Amino acid sequence: MRLLILCILVALSASVGTAVAPAGVLPKNSAEQFELAFWNSIKDSKQAGDYEAYLQAYPKGRFSALARARLQQLKAAPPQAQAPPQPAPGKPAAAQGQAKAVAKPQPDKSRAPPAPAATPAPGPAGSVATIKDCDACPVMVALSPRPFTMGSNNSDPSERPAHKVALHTPFAIGKYEVTVGQWRQCVQASVCPAMPSLGNVPDNLPMRDVSWDEAQLYLKWLSTVSGKPYRLPTEAEWEYAARGGTATRYWWGDQMKGGNSSCAGCGEPWNAERPPPVGSFTANPFGLNDMNGSVWEWVQDCWHSTYKGAPDDGSAWVDGSCQARVIRGGSWRENGSYMLSTTRFKYDASVRQSQNGFRVARSLD
């Protein structure tokens, strides 16, 4: 009898272990493992939108009952008192309050045509030249492409096969992820939706809780304001930029090392509730910040479960239904095993999730 009980306990223990820990760096390519990874990424969240996103994707999922209970609990909780607005860098809080009291409506300068300026030509591969097309535009880094190996044969199946990609067109990509302050300018122009979850979030945090479809609204607005064709980076451009000219697992080497990215257990600054301000960690060799961790970043490509048949010229892979789009780079809620330059995942293009953001790109030809 004791032996039978012991066997049952061992079996239960094994099943519990399987239910809470995804295998490998990323979940294996199956619906069950993707759902498990989704749940593990939000199970400690205090954002109602995260549980709504889970239920939209998995209305009859394994954790749907728990998600509904958490959602009901969060919506029933009394609203918390909002923190006072953060003072702008270099400006005393008192001065900000005075300015707010006497401020009058100002014309939307972001709609004015940008002053003509020559776009700096990117230098040799790996060199850094910054671009800022207009007052409202994010700072970008201009890159000259060269062939590189994309993906990995030693990690998750979705990253296979490792393959040569020959990028031919110079492009620019955001030095940082799009920030809350930059998104708010689009909201003020009545183009982008206001996000209730932002509240009094400081302007210098990365914008998140935004769907792929909503990111397109920002890009169209920015293209109109700047006169330049802004877009999301292709998945190949993103990985080329994230690697920073390296061929190692991370841009800093083959071993995880704290202090290089915003992720759980990867060093300060870190906060369980939200990512740190953009640029809080060292830039990679191309001068790009927060490619690893911070927030997952949307790219242009549709999701494919492997790289078999992927374009070899760095263009976006957009055949198929495209209901799911690719996100890259991990977020501050994941641990260091998600910070690899090859890490990729998928998300429904129309769904918001509090870990998902983006950075801008445009071609320079």
Give yes or no: residues 293 and 352 share one domain: yes
184 within some domain:
yes
**Residue range(s) defining the domain that contains residue 246:** 120-365
93 within some domain:
no
86 within some domain:
no
52 within some domain:
yes
Quote the pLDDT of residue 222: 98
Q: Is the pLDDT of residue 18 over 70?
A: no
299 within some domain:
yes
Structural domain ending residue among the three candidates 47, 74, 101: 74
15 within some domain:
no
- Give the domain CATH number at 341: 3.90.1580.10
Give yes or no: residues 42 and 126 share one domain: no
Give yes or no: residues 174 and 270 share one domain: yes
Question: Could you give the CA distance from residue 337 to residue 313 in angstroms, rounded to a whole number?
Answer: 28
Give yes or no: residues 125 and 66 share one domain: no
Cα 353 → chain centroid: 10
Give yes or no: residues 217 and 141 share one domain: yes
261-279 average pLDDT score: 93
Give yes or no: residues 150 and 219 share one domain: yes
227 within some domain:
yes
Quote the pLDDT of residue 60: 78
* Tally of structural domains, the chain: 2
Quote the pLDDT of residue 44: 76
Quote the pLDDT of residue 210: 96
Give yes or no: residues 137 and 279 share one domain: yes
Quote the pLDDT of residue 354: 92
Quote the pLDDT of residue 262: 95
Provide the strand spans (E) within the chain: 129-131, 140-143, 148-150, 163-165, 171-174, 296-302, 324-328, 344-348, 356-357, 361-363
Q: Of the given ranges (67-81, 136-150, 340-354), which has the lowest mean pLDDT? A: 67-81
Give yes or no: residues 231 and 301 share one domain: yes
Cα 142 → chain centroid: 20
